[in-house]
Amino acid sequence: MKPLEGRIALVAGATRGAGRGIATMLGEAGATVYCTGRSVRGRPATGSRPETIEETAEIVDAKGGRGIAVRVDHSVESEVEALCARIQREQGRLDILVNDIWGGDGLTEFGPAFWKQSAAKGQQMFERAVFTHLLTSRHAVPLMLGGERGLVVEITDGDSFGYRGNLWYDLVKLSVIRLAFGMSRELRRTNVTALALTPGFLRSEEMLENFGVTEANWRDGAAKDPHFIASESPVYVGRAVAALAADPKVGAKAGRVFSSWALAREYGFTDADGSQPHWGDYFARAFGKPYRVADEDAYTSWRDGPMELASPDWPLG
């Protein structure tokens, strides 16, 4: 029996990249996976990108799971409500929620100071990559409360609280980490665990094209950027999510941010090619400085705030 056989998952933002890798690896582990996004056959939603949610669902099927493609704009509450109502009607529950909605590549500009950048683009980035996560969790988490064990995974970039080089981007990615923490505090008396997860240098479809390589010869991309040699395929973060979902003690990780490479060492999974890339170790070697993560000590100041101390029974219902 596969480790996630019989489990019901929703991967919000499953069209390509990390989301597709996560959906397909949940399928490989036996799960039924609702694959959502805006790009469907004949109606691309992201410029010239060809990937669709139907393709993702078909890969889930090919891996041994069951893929269900549903077109959803996760910024529209009525569409999110309809999606969750469908999952409740068809499955009776939800076990795994992965929020991987992004859509900010064309909005992010590294280099210029924040006062020289477009506030409208920054607002749009927040709406696409933070509000959508919160809105989806708002309607999906109630489907998880009656189950044996639920898991909410917030996909971010980076497993530290360090600055990410662009103010809007930094606020978005740290907001997602904080969202996982905040949800974990409100879910602490339930059977649902919320946490955040980052991939490393991700070889998404677009990244491979930018480097002029394929997954078969990706190492050739190191000639363009030597750091590319430490990159990982979307399978890696997908297997990280599958390992977390299969772990009966995942609740011990509630509220924190983790990385694909650290979880690979903990759970023993590999990337698609059998390797175990470790961005943290590579960074330390390449830059001669320690790679710092948001470990248990880093989260100390986030816990036992005035609200929790003054009203330990919140939320009330």
Q: Are strands 32-37 and 66-71 parallel, antiparallel or unpaired?
A: parallel
CA distance 314 to 273: 47
Contact 183, 145 (CB under 8 A): no
- Angle, CA 3 vertex, CA 266 and CA 156 arms, to 5°: 50
Over residues 140-199, the pLDDT tens digits come to 999 999 889 999 999 999 999 999 999 999 999 999 999 999 999 999 999 999 999 999
Kindly state the tokens that stand for 19.
Answer: 């989301």
pLDDT at 305: 85
Over residues 269-304, the pLDDT tens digits come to 999 999 999 999 999 999 999 999 998 888 988 988
Distances in Å between the Cα of 254 and the Cα atoms of 32, 176, 186, 223, 265 are: 24, 14, 11, 40, 19
pLDDT at 151: 99
pLDDT at 144: 98
Confidence of residue 315 (pLDDT cuts 50, 70, 90): confident
pLDDT at residue 123 tops 70: yes
Q: What is the pTM of this model?
A: 0.95
pLDDT at 312: 84
Domain boundaries, the chain: 8-310
pLDDT at residue 316 tops 90: no
Q: CB burial class (10 A; 0-12, 13-18, 19+) of residue 88?
A: middle
Phi-psi region of 158 (alpha: psi -120 to 50; beta: other; left: phi over 0): left
Over residues 221-232, the pLDDT tens digits come to 999 999 999 999
Peptide bond before residue 315 is cis, with ω within 30 degrees of 0? yes
Over residues 247-259, the pLDDT tens digits come to 999 999 999 999 9
Contact 121, 168 (CB under 8 A): yes
pLDDT at 303: 86
Q: Which residues are catalytic?
A: 169
Please give the class, per CATH, of domain 8-310.
alpha beta
Distance, CA of 77 to chain centre: 20
pLDDT at 107: 81
Top-confidence residue, 1 or 84:
84
Q: CB burial class (10 A; 0-12, 13-18, 19+) of residue 119?
A: exposed
**Exposure on the CB side of residue 6, measured as CA atoms within 13 A:** 7
pLDDT at residue 215 tops 80: yes
Top-confidence residue, 48 or 240:
240
Helix (H) or strand (E) holding 249: none
Over residues 5-56, the pLDDT tens digits come to 999 999 999 999 999 999 999 999 999 999 999 978 777 767 778 789 999 9
pLDDT at residue 89 tops 90: yes
pLDDT at 317: 63
pLDDT at 284: 96
